[in-house]
Amino acid sequence: MKKINVSDQKIKDLEEGWKRTQADFENYRKRQEEQRGEILNMMRADFLAKITPVLDNFRRAFEHAPDDEFAKGVKQIEKQLEDILISEGLQKIPANSGEKFDPSIHEAISCEQNKKVSSDYIIDEIESGWMFEGKVIKPAKVRVSKGKG
């Protein structure tokens, strides 16, 4: 009878060990899956950050382009590129004139006296800023008012 009890205990111990190993493996698999997702998101964010200057260059070009059919066509290409990037999760950082300057999402490239705009408010956006997955990948470059002059 004692031999049966010892064998039953060994079976229980082996089953418990197997269950622990199985749970450890499942936890490992989940961690690996999360890490893969994080790496993929970092790669996407890196790619998106590299391509956003193209949109800025389009906008700069249109500041000096004639208002003709060719320019309108190229403007459509810019819009298409921006729509694709947004569909991939890119989010434009708001940086309109008159909005409050926020150093966590805006980069002040100049501070100027301005009679129309209160201190610490945006005068003008110079380059667009972008976020991905709630993280800033490129701050908006702005001119900021340092007070009513």
pLDDT digits (tens, 9 = 90+) for 45-55: 999 999 999 99
pLDDT at 144 over 90: yes
Report CA torsion sign: 119, 140, 86, 136.
negative
pLDDT of residue 109: 96
CA 32, CA 17: separation in Å to the nearest integer?
22
SS3 of residue 52 by DSSP: helix
pLDDT given at position 44: 93
**Domain tally for the chain?**
1
pTM: predicted TM-score of the whole model, two decimal places: 0.72
What is the pLDDT at residue 6?
A: 72
Burial of 58 (0-12, 13-18, 19+ CB in 10 A): middle
Q: Decide the pairing of beta strands 129-132 and 140-145.
A: unpaired
For residue 109, what is the domain's CATH number? 2.30.22.10
Q: Which domain holds residue 105?
A: 2-145
Is residue 123 scored above 60 in pLDDT? yes
